[in-house]
């Protein structure tokens, strides 16, 4: 299995760190950013992760805005999958509302998260994130 990578975007540094550590322990490569613009900059510089995992409520640029911007990136710069992790307590949300592939609610169950991401990479054809290029 090729090494998988994840870009974690959360304004909560401690949480981002713990998630990254968790993936690294599983043999992934993981990078952390604490805001949307930082994430965009990293993606534009050519770091093309398997997953972009982003929080929704962040100061400055929200998760939704980040995803919209990511969708407009050239195809080779886009992550393959976009995953939303949110602390919102509404239960009626669907990933489609945010144009994401998956949606997880905090507090995250790490094992379930990893199992799902594995399933995605195994079950879904490889390729860049299917956002519509503008």
Partner 1 sequence: MLIATSIGMLVATLELYRSQSAQQALLATSIRTSGWVAYQAELEFVNTHMALEIARVIPGDAQLADLSLRMEILLSRLPILYDSEEGRMIAQIDLFKPRIQEIERLLETCLDQLQSLPPDAAARASAVSRWRDELEPYGPILKTMLRESVLFNEQIGERERQLAETPATIPVVLGFGSGGVLIMLLLLQLRRDRRALGEIRTARAAQQGLETSLKSLIDAVPAGIVLVRPGTREVLFANPRARSLIGSDGGHPDWAALTSAALAVSGETESDQGEDRKPLVLNRPDGRILSLLTVVRDMVWQAEPVKLIAMADLTKLRDTELQLVHASKLASLGEMASAIGHELNQPLSVIRLAAENALRGLDRSIGRDVTASKLVRIVGQVERAQRITDQIRRYGRLPSSQNQHFPLRPALDLAIGFVANQYRLAGIALLGSFDLPAGIEVSGDQTMFEQVIVNLLVNSKDAFAEGPRRSSAPLTVHVSAKIEGSVVAISVSDNAGGIAQIVLDRLFQPLVTTKPAEKGTGLGLALARKIVRDMAGEIVGGNRDDGATFVITVPFQIPDCAAPGGPS
Q: Is 118 in the site for partner 1 (CB under 8 A)?
A: no
Least Å distance, CB 60 to partner 1, is 6
Q: Is 110 in the site for partner 1 (CB under 8 A)?
A: yes
Q: Is 22 in the site for partner 1 (CB under 8 A)?
A: yes
Least Å distance, CB 109 to partner 1, is 7
User: Which among 16, 69, 45, 27 is positioned nearest to 82, based on CA atoms?
Assistant: 69
Site string for partner 1, 35-74 (x = CB under 8 A): ----------------------xxxx--------------
Its sign, for the CA torsion 65, 67, 73, 79, is positive
Least Å distance, CB 7 to partner 1, is 17
Select the span of 36-44, 71-79, 106-114, 122-130 touching partner 1 (CB under 8 A).
106-114
User: Bridge partners of 29?
Assistant: 5
Count of residues of this chain found to bind partner 1 when the rule CB under 8 A is applied: 23
Q: What angle do CA 116, 83, 69 make, to 5 degrees?
A: 160
In angstroms, the CA 51 to CA 85 distance is 12
10: burial class by Cβ within 10 Å (0-12, 13-18, 19+)? buried
Rounded to 5 degrees, what are φ and ψ at 107?
A: -70, 135
> Where along the sequence are the contacts to partner 1 (CB under 8 A)?
12, 14-15, 18-19, 21-22, 25, 57-60, 87-90, 105-111
């Amino acid at each position: 299995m090729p090494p998988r990578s994840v870009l974690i975007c959360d304004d909560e540094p401690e949480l981002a760190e713990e998630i990254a550590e968790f993936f690294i322990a599983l043999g992934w490569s993981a990078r952390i950013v604490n805001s949307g613009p930082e994430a965009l900059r990293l993606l534009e510089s050519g770091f093309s992760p398997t997953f972009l995992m982003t929080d929704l409520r962040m100061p400055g640029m929200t998760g939704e805005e980040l995803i919209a911007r990511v969708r407009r990136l050239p195809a080779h710069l886009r992550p393959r999958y976009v995953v939303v992790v949110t602390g919102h307590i509404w239960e009626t949300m669907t990933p489609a509302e945010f144009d994401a592939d998956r949606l997880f609610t905090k507090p995250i169950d790490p094992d379930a998260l990893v199992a799902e991401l594995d399933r995605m990479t195994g079950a879904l054809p490889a390729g860049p994130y299917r956002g519509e290029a503008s």
